[in-house]
Structure formats: structure tokens, C-alpha cells
Amino acid sequence: MTRRREGDSGERIMARLLDGYDTDYACTDLAPHLGPRQARYRPLHWDPVPRDRTRVVRYTCCCAATYYEFISMGGSYGIRKIVQSDPPQVLYTGGWTRDVGELWWMRLLTGEAR
Ligand SMILES: [Zn+2]
């Protein structure tokens, strides 16, 4: 449950939810959290359809409204973005070799890509 604080309006709670750091999931701190987006970040192209069957390799903490998974898609690698809206929005990027995928995953975590 979202923690309701004294004096919170519905709008303020929703603003925190959309901000990405106060959702229905308790944070176990077991998975990484994204750093803030850098001013000169590289925009990734997000597609609603995966290239192939997917398998999760790594993931970020799902306490955020939007979390990410580093995935293999058949023979290539990519990133799945999950926006925990109702209904959830799921988007994909990638088609990289593992090395290139790891580089983009690191850029995502450090805020150099989104
Ligand atoms: Zn968390």
C-alpha cells in the first residue's frame, strides 16, 4: 500500500507515484535503482513488440513506477521497460550483442540513456 502521510492530497500521492519512487511495492533493496537521467542522455528507441522470445537476465527494483529488465531475445540482447500503469505498458529496445547490451544497460542505470 502507498503510505499515506498527514496532509496528503490524492494529487500529491499520485504525483509521488508518477515520480516513480513511492508505489505499491515495498522496496527490498535487492535490485539496483536507476540514477537520475543525465542532461545529455541518449534516447533509446522503444518498441511495443519484442524481437523474439525473452528471458530475463537482470532487472531493476520494481519499487519504482517504471522498472527495467535486461533480457535475451533469441540470440540477441535488449532491455524491457515496464510502466506499472493500469494496464501496464511494456516496451522493448535492443537487438544487440551481449557486450553492446551490457553497455546500454549500464548507461540506463547511470542515467546516460533512457
Ligand atoms: Zn526499490
Structural domain contains residue 53: yes
CA distances from 53 to 9, 27, 41, 71 (A): 42, 29, 29, 10
- Which structural domain range is residue 57 located in? 26-109
Is 89 a member of any domain?
A: yes
56 DSSP β-pair partners: 71
pLDDT in tens, 56-98: 999 999 999 999 999 999 999 999 999 999 999 999 999 999 9
**Is position 4 within any domain?**
no
Q: How far apart are CA 81 and CA 30, in angstroms?
A: 18
Residue 31, helix vs strand vs coil? coil
Decide if 81 is inside a domain. yes
- Structural domain contains residue 90: yes
Peptide bond into 87 cis (omega under 30): yes
CA of 99 to the centre of ligand 1 (A): 26
Kindly give the distance from the C-alpha atom of residue 25 to the centroid of ligand 1, in angstroms, as a whole number: 8
Please give the distance of CA 30 from its chain centroid, rounded to a whole number: 15
Residue 58 lies inside a defined structural domain of this protein: yes
Contact 96, 68 (CB under 8 A): no
Tell me, in angstroms, the distance from the centre of ligand 1 to residue 75's CA. 30
Q: What is the pTM of this model?
A: 0.77
- The whole-number pLDDT of residue 2 equals 46
Domain tally for the chain?
Answer: 1
pLDDT digit string (tens) for 22-67?
A: 555 679 889 999 999 999 999 999 999 988 999 999 999 999 999 9
In a domain, 54, yes or no: yes
Q: How far is the CA of 110 from the centre of ligand 1 (A)?
A: 15
pLDDT of residue 28: 84
